[in-house]
Amino acid sequence: MQYDPSLRPAQVTPPFDAFVPRHEIVRDGIGLSFIHEGAGGHEGAGGYPLLLLHGYPETKRVWWRNIAPLVAAGFEVIAPDLRGYGDSDLSPDDAYDLTIYSRDLYALVHDVLGHERCAIVAGDIGGVVAIDIAQRFEGFVDRLCFFNSVPPPTPGFDLSTFSALRGGPTGDYQELQGARPDELAAMLNTPEARRQWIAAMYTSRLWASTGTFTREEVDFMTEPFADEAHLRASWAPYQLAHGRPMSEMPMSFGPVTIPTLVLYGHDDHVVGDDFIPACEVAFTNRIGPLVVPGAGHFLQWERADILNPLLIAMFGDLIG
């Protein structure tokens, strides 16, 4: 049965200036911008650290509807921009890959903020990075929430045919960003053109469920991509399949044994429903996959009313 978008409850969106980001050097002279709320916790005690990882074409802004409810529940919310995205620093030597992101984020949470453990919520590229963090830094990640991403390669599922790697019905962006970035950048030669490239993924390219982003919300999401250098940095993961060198092999493989909540926004036209059987193989200690109605790729924004209570129920016992 097709979900009727008119039945989707209205979502609560904080003002676009509701949260003030911090900026800290994490390693190798690179600074990350991040929202950090709830560090004081209840009655002066620190909340349990919850790391929210965005993907592409996103920044920390995609978590705007999640931060305050999760802080109110007792979490210390950490929502960074990946290296080269949003307000985070560009790499002076053009160093961007999944392991670099992973090591940056571990340094932020562990070294800068001083946490020995955390839970992670992540989709898209952030989901792949979350798996690397969990597999690389043993004992650091207590739990995961994983949605609309590329599942960890695992014996028993042929990931080479997976829909997200083929880009869906509007997947030309993968080839352009990955194999022909200079040509694409020349086509997108104004801030307005660069923002429109990103805007299409929130609208006409059908990544999102119909009607889940207003014009003002699309503008909010696309603003950080107006700068050419940051837009090009965000394409780096797509270039890994076209010869971009990797600093080291990512540890983004399965099976994943950490307790994981797996969600899927069914209206995503990039990550198809083969996500479900792939995750059933990859995650051996999971709840789900649960299909979230009225949500596409940007599940955390589109159905914050579903995600926030699920996270509180799944991770709430971690709060001291």
Q: What pairing do the DSSP bridges indicate for beta strands 141-147 and 75-80?
A: unpaired
Residue 43 pLDDT greater than 70, yes or no:
no
Rounded CA-CA distance 49/115 in Å is: 7
Q: What is the mean pLDDT of the chain?
A: 95
The CATH code of the domain at 5-167+246-318 is 3.40.50.1820
CA-angle at 29, arms to 28 and 33, nearest 5°:
110
Counting residues of the chain whose pLDDT is more than 90, the rounded percentage is 89
Residue 44: is its pLDDT beyond 50? no
Ranges 40-44, 184-188, 287-291: which has the least confidence:
40-44
> So what's the pLDDT on residue 7?
85
pLDDT at 138 over 90: yes
Is the pLDDT at 40 greater than 90? The verdict is no
CA dihedral angle for residue 272, residue 278, residue 282, residue 287, rounded to 10 degrees: 70
What would the pLDDT profile of 248-275 be if each residue is shown by its tens digit? 999 999 999 999 999 999 999 999 999 9
- Residue 59: pLDDT above 90? yes
pLDDT at residue number 49: 98
Q: Give residue 6's pLDDT.
A: 79
